[in-house]
Each structure stands twice: as C-alpha cells, then as structure tokens.
Amino acid sequence: SPAKKVRHFLDIHQHDTAALRGMLDHAAVLKRSKGHAKPFAGKTLALIFEKPSTRTRVSFEVGMRQLGGEVVTLTGKEIQLGHGETIADTGRVLSRFVDVIMLRTDDEAKLHELASCATVPVINGLTDVSHPCQIMADILTFEERKGSIEGKVVCWSGDANNVCQSWIHAAVRFDFELRIACPDELRPTDATLDWVRAEGKGKVIVSTDAAAMARGADAIVTDTWVSMHHADGERRHNLLKPYQVNEQLMALAKPDAIFMHCLPAHRGEEVSACVMDGPQSVIWDEAENRMHAQKGILSWCLNT
Ligand code: CP
Ligand code: NVA
C-alpha cells in the first residue's frame, strides 16, 4: 500500500489556501480557549537549531507543553550533525523517537533532505530563504487588528530576505497586495516573482521607492539589515538606510496602519525607536502569536 503522506510544513506556497486557513482558524480557537485540553499528550517534538533563536525556540517549547506534549531541543555543535552524520540519517533516527521535527538551518537543501528521509512531519523553523512559521503568525496578527487580509495592502521596506520570501508566498495564498521597497541588489529572486505571476492570485510589486510603496498601506513591515546568513558591513547599511521605517514613512501609510517586525529588531537601523515603541507597533503581539500559530501548524502536522 502507498506510504501514508507525511504532513510536512516546509513552506507556505506548498499548501493551499484552505489548509493554511484551517491552521490559522485552529490557532485562533486555541488562543481563545483557556481550557486544559491536551491534544498533544504522548507526542514529542524535536527542535533542531543550527542557528540561534529566542522566539522560535521558546514558542515551540511552551506551545507544545501547553497542549500536553513533550519537547527535545538540540542545538548547534552538541549534536552529531556537526560531526558529519548526515541530516538524512539524523532524520531517520529521530523519526524512531519523536512525532514531529522542527529544523532551523543555514541550508535549504538540508531541510528538504530531512523531509525526504524523516517518516514524521518536518517543520521549517527558518532557512536562509524562508520563514513560514513567522508569516503564519504575522497573518494571525494582521487579521486580529485589521480583519481579513484579503485585498489589503502590506508594504515591506528593506532587504527582500527570507522573511520577505514567505510574505510573498502569503500574498498569493491569502490574496493580498504586497509592495516591496528594496535596493535593486536585494530584490526577491526572479524565480519567486515568476511563481507569483504564474499563480495569478495576490499582487506583488517591487520598487526601489519606499515612499511610493508605503503610501496608503494597511501595514508596514521590515526586518533586520543583517540576517544571520549575511556578513555585516557598511555597504549593506548604506544600501538599506533609505528603507528605514520611521515616522515619515509611517505617515504615508493609512492613519491606522500597523507596524510589524519579526524581531530581533535594531532601533535606529531598520526601524526608528519612535515607530518600534509607538502606538502603531504590534510587534509584541506578533511575537506571542508565534506560539498560537505554531499550535495550529503542529495540530495540522500531527492531525490532531
Ligand atoms: N522571529 C524569530 O524567528 O525570532 P528568533 O530568531 O528569536 O527565533
Ligand atoms: N531575516 C532574519 C530573521 C530572523 C528571525 C534572519 O534570517 O536572521
């Protein structure tokens, strides 16, 4: 008989809108419920971090435990991955012990290798090219404040990085307009923009003009100038300076527009302190919603 299809959560664009909606609806229900349901009782989640994390680690650990599950966290060089055991073999072994695996890795290929060899669901906890769990939390946060994101306008100002890539996937699946303001050399890839055109839903515009992209937006979003996989340097800072989210840029958006950032953030670099700590900022809700969104994702992966 054909192998049962394993429910991986590797990228937003690999799922249809109904499945993604189901995860978010479930997340919202779990967020509201104060009860003691333990749907993950007897289940164990393994978290593998090849890069540092605060939010992803704590939100997965606490979320899994709140719903009755157990967690094992493996970081950096303390596991055999750092000593030449392939990620595929690690995946085969972990599948004998745990029910679901999250991986944060520097290399997209490792995520796919793990998913192809693991017999339990694999969740993408950030790679150099995408961060789907973050954007699920971001959609939840946006909709709590502004209602359905369908048809709304989200402006990304800054490096069109891994987080931006998942926003692009979301624009298509949730059918909204994403306006990306970025320097030419930090644009989304042509392959991603070709995918958007082929899907024919959502709208993604790319420009070097931050003011033009921010005008009339429902949300302005940014991220660090220097992601974990980038070398820091004056050149990046100079390239990205015109894309700082500050009061002048926020003033171009709708008066009730929200400011979003996946964190960690750097006041005075990609965002001014006034905006980050100001009344339009929803960043702390966004961080909290990582946990709620991931409960929805875990429930889908575990089919509970
Ligand atoms: N936003 C986010 O993924 O944060 P961490 O790197 O702290 O997990
Ligand atoms: N773009 C950032 C996101 C961190 C959560 C990075 O990759 O470092």
In DSSP notation, the chain reads: -PPPPP--B--GGGS-HHHHHHHHHHHHHHHH--S---TTTT-EEEEEESS--SHHHHHHHHHHHHTT-EEEEEEGGGSGGGGT--HHHHHHHHHHH-SEEEEE-S-HHHHHHHHHH-SS-EEE---SS--HHHHHHHHHHHHHHHS--TT-EEEEES---HHHHHHHHHHHHTT-EEEEE--GGGPPPHHHHHHHHHH--SEEEEES-HHHHHTT-SEEEE--SS-TTS---HHHHHHHGGG-B-HHHHHHS-TT-EEEE-S---BTTTB-HHHHTSTTB-HHHHHHHHHHHHHHHHHHHHT-
Mutate to test the pocket of ligand 1, among 48, 50, 51, 55 (most ligand atoms within 8 A of CB): 55
Question: What percentage of the chain reaches a pLDDT higher than 70?
Answer: 97
Instruction: Look at the chain and count its residues.
Output: 304
Q: From residue 112, how far is each of 4, 115, 121, 299 by CA, in Å?
A: 18, 5, 12, 21
Instruction: Could you list the residues known to form a binding site for L-ornithine, using ranges.
Output: 162, 223, 227-228
55 lines ligand 1 (CB under 6 A): yes
The per-residue pLDDT for 34 is 79
CA of 180 to the centre of ligand 2 (A): 17
Answer yes or no: is pLDDT of 81 > 90: no
The answer to whether 71 touches 92, Cβ cutoff 8 Å, is: no
The per-residue pLDDT for 1 is 45
Q: How far apart are the first and last CA of the chain?
A: 23
Our measurement of the distance from residue 116's CA atom to the centroid of its chain's CA atoms, rounded to an integer in Å, reads 22
How does strand 153-157 pair with strand 219-222? parallel
Q: Which residues are catalytic?
A: 104, 131, 134, 223, 262, 290
58 lines ligand 1 (CB under 6 A): no
Order the strands of the 177-181 sheet from edge to edge: 203-207, 177-181, 153-157, 219-222, 258-261
Q: Mean pLDDT, to the nearest integer, of 176-190?
A: 98
What distance separates the 2 farthest-apart alpha carbons in the chain? 61
The per-residue pLDDT for 82 is 61
Phi, psi at 220, each rounded to 5°: -120, 130
88 lines ligand 2 (CB under 6 A): no
Packed helices 55-66 and 283-302: angle between N→C axes, nearest 10 degrees: 50
pLDDT band, very low/low/confident/very high, at 72 (cuts 50, 70, 90): very high
pLDDT band, very low/low/confident/very high, at 141 (cuts 50, 70, 90): very high
163 lines ligand 2 (CB under 6 A): yes
Q: From residue 23, how far is each of 9, 17, 49, 201 by CA, in Å?
A: 11, 10, 24, 20
Q: Which amino acid is at 122?
A: V
Q: Mean pLDDT, to the nearest integer, of 80-96?
A: 86
More confident residue, 167 or 35: 167
Average pLDDT, the chain: 95
What are the chain's domains? 12-130+289-302 (3.40.50.1370), 134-286 (3.40.50.1370)
Using a cut of 0.90, tell me whether the model's pTM lies above it.
yes
Atom of ligand 2 nearest to the CA of 55: 5
Contacts of 296 (CB under 8 A, 6+ apart): 22, 23, 24, 25, 26, 27, 28, 30, 136
Answer yes or no: is pLDDT of 257 > 80: yes
CA of 275 to the centre of ligand 1 (A): 20
Answer yes or no: is pLDDT of 79 > 80: no
Our measurement of the distance from residue 256's CA atom to the centroid of its chain's CA atoms, rounded to an integer in Å, reads 24
Answer yes or no: is pLDDT of 270 > 60: yes
281 lines ligand 2 (CB under 6 A): no
